Structure 1
Amino acid sequence: MKIESVAISNWRSIKYLEIAFQDLMIFIGQNNHGKSNVLSALLFFFGEIKPQDLDFNRGAQELFVEIIFGDLDQTDKTTFKKYLTADGSIRVRKFAYVGGNFEYRGYIQNPVEEWLRESNATTLSKREVAESLPFYPFLPATGRLTKQDIIDAQAKYIEQNPGGVAFNFEIEETNFLGLKSVAKGIFGDVYFIPAVKDATDDFSSKEASAFGKLYSGIIESMSANSPDWKDTKAKLSSLFSTLNRLNGDGEDNPHRPQELVNFEKALSAELNAWGAEIDVEVIPPNIDDVFRANTQVWINDGVRTDIRRKGHGLQRALTFALIKVISDNLKAERAKAVPEQVAPRTASASTYFILEEPELYLHPQAQRALFDSLVSLSESKNQVIMCTHASALIDVERYKSICIVKKDSDVVGTQVCQCTEDIFTGDKRKDFNLSYWINPDRSELFFAKRVLLVEGPTDKTLIPLLAKQLGVFRFDHTVVDCGSKDNIPLYCQLLNKFSIPYIAVYDKDHQAAKGDDGKASADKSSALIEAAIDKGIGASIVFLNDIEEEVGMIAGEKNKPFVALTHIAAPGFTISVDLAAKIALMYQ
């Protein structure tokens, strides 16, 4: 099963927010705005962390994280049958209260009719009461009726009358699954990689670690299938049994070492006055645990050492290599899985990878390779959830995965901005995706305080340099080369959806050499840009004809970005008052 949506209330900087989820979720935003708080809320839900009193927002006494899960397999549908909705999803809320208590509650579709409610089953279990109700034909014909008989009859009646029963969708009053404490892992496996972490934690042989989980599976497989392994376990068990007073059948052991017998007698003699005696019993170790406890991971990158002696970059790379292996193993297991009878309350086979700033210690090329691996991981029936400050870990084509986290007010708390609907269709989608290859660093726009949308490489080259010459340049403004004037409206649409401030900078294109048809075409493109701008978010600045003319270049020169750069860097170049005002307006 997979997370479809999350609602968070009163968790740290979050007053209340709702987030729609994709298989790949990328949380971005400025520091101290709440990205890590979103991840920690998920970790709280999955039982990976326990809430402290300081986790409650602004003095709240109660908090909750609520998740709707969809895409349930047959195991999930059996385990969570009570909570399954008509659309095949389940909805679960985890509460926490100041002082340390917490509990899970599920949402159930309660029939409107009182006689169909499971909570009323006890009061309906008298036959004289039940025989007047529509579900009576589904009850045993004779004998004493039990509460379970009523519940089964209610369920059969509902099943036999699809569409004929009205429901209220409400949170249950009792504990989730009827359990006071829900077992960790019931919703699936969680692999959490925090921003700053010693990789030795991931590569320890403890079952709680990522390596330990994978390694334990290998140990269990060998233990079940290897003849040598089975023989060793039998011999080890036999060896240890010779040390005990009684054998496996509870009879006296004649082969017990005399040294151990004498040791027991000596100790018992000392306790004679107490009427007590000593019995030394040797418990054979579990060979699987012996192998786990005595396993270490060594790295040979020219020098063979343990992992903690390697650099942070290599440690980080090893952690992500481990995640990739886990993903490949999960894919292989799912591919060979054979449908079988599902046992009740089996833990979900779902896997969630939660990563905090995975780009740390990785150079840009490694970041891009990592992103490719994470995308592949998310496309293999896993969910990948991360927060990042790296544009290399964002793909604008996957804009539905991007969630911008903002906190403009402590009172309102952390909020999110995301786009879950299709922005582009048909040729517009194709044109937008093609522009990626013209400007592969365009993902930076999601981190910008303001985006300057320009037509091409000359504008992108000159505008920042002119701003530096004027002393108005700002690093939090990003210039995006849209590839052409006609692509600017596509970027306007994207930025509108994410409420990112922008200025569309384009040419009027009424050069003297242009004919009437050329000018009409340019006016049409200009009108499309103006129509795409949301005036509450964006604005426009228009060059008289083009930026080359604005800086006084001769029309028609080739290699324009370099020639234009040389032109404005030459001694004696003076920027016009009109152009200086436009540049200052872009960077205000």
Structure 2
Amino acid sequence: MKIKRVRIENFRCLHKVDVAFDDITSFIGPSGVGKSTVLRALDWFFTGEKDVALSTDDVHSATDGARISVEVEFDSLTDYDRKTLGRYAPDGAENVSIWRTWDNGVDKITGKAFTYRPFEEVRQYTKAMDRRRAYNELRESDPSLGLPAAPNADAVNEAMQLWETSNRDRLTESEVEDTHFFGFAGQSQLAKLVDFVFISADLRAYEETDDRKSTAIGQILDHAVDRSEASRQLSDIEETAHRARREVHAQVYGPTLDEISGALSKELLKLNS
């Protein structure tokens, strides 16, 4: 899948912006109009507070309150994309929308999902015991659903998901908050499908050539090449250079240091006698 459209509200210099993306998208304009800000908004959308922490300084000055929203619509979904996204992209879905909001320090991720509404009432319970109780009440009140017994919260979640997969015709679209998109709780689903690497215009490439996976160039290299052989050869070079430095030190400084050490020892012996 790929990015089709991005909608940004109240992020830095961008009040309300709607950007359509083609196969190749270029931003052209004078400095200060928000070209890089669009990309930085996407950087926050994909990486979140882990790498891009927001504050009230990032909120557009003309807005009331302190709420930032970045919505990304994806299209060209494959069967693998739909399988990975589950209820957010059912069979036949051509696109999916996910948005991230920041409101006075509260970070939320929301997506349009097809769900069975009574299940959403069960899912609203965060405590395992309460969720299991709500599930059992629904199961007993409507035997026609054919829900299985679930001994724990994980079994409850799995039973509801399997039922929704088998009963697509009874699902309705709803907005669902879910941290699994980015891996804050459990395995990241979106990270399996999209890699976003932001490289600032002031990047100094020669500073990025070191083998550090956290750098922008390092992230690209991780996806483009197998660096294990290069790492091994570089390690050998560093070890050889280290031995060479020790030999130079021994040859150049060794005799002089030995002479100084001997002289100091003699003077110390004189003080002790």
How would you bin the TM-score normalised by the shorter chain?
Answer: 0.5 to 0.7
The corresponding residue for 1:109 is: 114
1:187-227 CA-partner distances (Å, limit 9, x unpaired): 5333333333322134332113354346554233x49xxxx
Taking a change above 3 Å as real, the CA distance of residues 161 and 128 of structure 1, as seen in their structure-2 partners, is closer
The corresponding residue for 1:227 is: none
What TM-score, normalized to structure 2? Answer: 0.63
Q: Distance in 1 between matches of 2:32 and 2:195?
A: 28
What letter is aligned with 2:211? S
SS in 2 for 1:27: coil
What letter is aligned with 1:6? V
Asked if the contact 2:27/2:35 (under 8 Å) is kept, the reply is yes
Q: Distance in 2 between matches of 1:293 and 1:103?
A: 47
Q: CA deviation at 1:9?
A: 1.1
Asked if the contact 1:126/1:145 (under 8 Å) is kept, the reply is no
Taking a change above 3 Å as real, the CA distance of residues 43 and 293 of structure 1, as seen in their structure-2 partners, is farther
The answer to whether residue 136 in structure 2 is matched with residue 126 in structure 1 is yes
Q: Map 1:6-45; keep pairs closer than 5 Å.
A: 6-45=6-45
Asked if the contact 2:8/2:14 (under 8 Å) is kept, the reply is yes
The corresponding residue for 2:227 is: 219
1:117-158 CA-partner distances (Å, limit 9, x unpaired): 65276344438943733221x525xxx654444544444443
What letter is aligned with 1:57? H
SS in 1 for 2:27: strand
What letter is aligned with 2:227? I
Q: CA deviation at 1:166?
A: 4.2
Q: Distance in 2 between matches of 1:289 and 1:118?
A: 56
Taking a change above 3 Å as real, the CA distance of residues 162 and 124 of structure 1, as seen in their structure-2 partners, is same
The corresponding residue for 2:99 is: 93
Q: Distance in 2 between matches of 1:80 and 1:25?
A: 26
What letter is aligned with 1:291? S
Unaligned runs of 5+ in 2: 125-130, 239-273
Q: Distance in 2 between matches of 1:73 and 1:107?
A: 18
Taking a change above 3 Å as real, the CA distance of residues 290 and 77 of structure 1, as seen in their structure-2 partners, is farther
The answer to whether residue 205 in structure 2 is matched with residue 199 in structure 1 is yes
Q: Percent identity?
A: 19
The corresponding residue for 2:75 is: 70
**Bigger helix share:** 2
Q: CA deviation at 1:177?
A: 4.7
The answer to whether residue 191 in structure 2 is matched with residue 190 in structure 1 is no
Taking a change above 3 Å as real, the CA distance of residues 213 and 32 of structure 1, as seen in their structure-2 partners, is closer
Q: Distance in 1 between matches of 2:194 and 2:153?
A: 32
Taking a change above 3 Å as real, the CA distance of residues 214 and 32 of structure 1, as seen in their structure-2 partners, is closer
The answer to whether residue 66 in structure 2 is matched with residue 61 in structure 1 is yes
- Which among 166, 169, 172 is matched to residue 174 of structure 2? 169
The corresponding residue for 1:51 is: 54
Q: Distance in 2 between matches of 1:24 and 1:91?
A: 20
The corresponding residue for 1:552 is: none
Q: Distance in 1 between matches of 2:120 and 2:191?
A: 32
Q: Distance in 2 between matches of 1:9 and 1:292?
A: 51
Q: Distance in 1 between matches of 2:226 and 2:153?
A: 45
Q: CA deviation at 1:51?
A: 2.6
Q: Distance in 1 between matches of 2:5 and 2:23?
A: 11
Q: Distance in 1 between matches of 2:138 and 2:32?
A: 64
CA RMSD after TM alignment: 3.9
Q: CA deviation at 1:39?
A: 1.7
Structure label with greater radius of gyration: 1
Asked if the contact 1:124/1:130 (under 8 Å) is kept, the reply is no
Taking a change above 3 Å as real, the CA distance of residues 132 and 178 of structure 1, as seen in their structure-2 partners, is farther
Q: Distance in 2 between matches of 1:80 and 1:119?
A: 18
Unaligned runs of 5+ in 1: 224-286, 295-588
Taking a change above 3 Å as real, the CA distance of residues 171 and 34 of structure 1, as seen in their structure-2 partners, is same
Asked if the contact 1:135/1:153 (under 8 Å) is kept, the reply is no
Q: CA deviation at 1:7?
A: 1.4
What letter is aligned with 1:139? P
Taking a change above 3 Å as real, the CA distance of residues 68 and 291 of structure 1, as seen in their structure-2 partners, is farther
SS in 2 for 1:24: coil
SS in 1 for 2:143: coil
The corresponding residue for 1:139 is: 148
What letter is aligned with 2:110? R
Q: Distance in 2 between matches of 1:128 and 1:57?
A: 45
- Which among 165, 177, 201 is matched to residue 159 of structure 1? 165
Q: Distance in 1 between matches of 2:94 and 2:237?
A: 42
The corresponding residue for 2:235 is: 291
The answer to whether residue 3 in structure 2 is matched with residue 3 in structure 1 is yes
Q: CA deviation at 1:20?
A: 2.4
SS in 2 for 1:25: coil
Taking a change above 3 Å as real, the CA distance of residues 20 and 146 of structure 1, as seen in their structure-2 partners, is same
1:66-122 CA-partner distances (Å, limit 9, x unpaired): 1122334455444432432451543322222445x534333322334x257652763
Taking a change above 3 Å as real, the CA distance of residues 198 and 5 of structure 1, as seen in their structure-2 partners, is same
Asked if the contact 1:94/1:102 (under 8 Å) is kept, the reply is yes
What letter is aligned with 1:218? D
Q: CA deviation at 1:167?
A: 0.4
Taking a change above 3 Å as real, the CA distance of residues 290 and 51 of structure 1, as seen in their structure-2 partners, is farther
Taking a change above 3 Å as real, the CA distance of residues 63 and 288 of structure 1, as seen in their structure-2 partners, is farther
Q: CA deviation at 1:56?
A: 0.7
Asked if the contact 2:39/2:198 (under 8 Å) is kept, the reply is no
Q: CA deviation at 1:24?
A: 1.2
The corresponding residue for 2:127 is: none
SS in 2 for 1:134: helix
Q: CA deviation at 1:11?
A: 0.3
Q: Distance in 1 between matches of 2:108 and 2:32?
A: 29
Asked if the contact 2:71/2:97 (under 8 Å) is kept, the reply is yes
Q: Distance in 1 between matches of 2:160 and 2:204?
A: 54
What letter is aligned with 1:40? R
Q: Distance in 2 between matches of 1:98 and 1:156?
A: 36
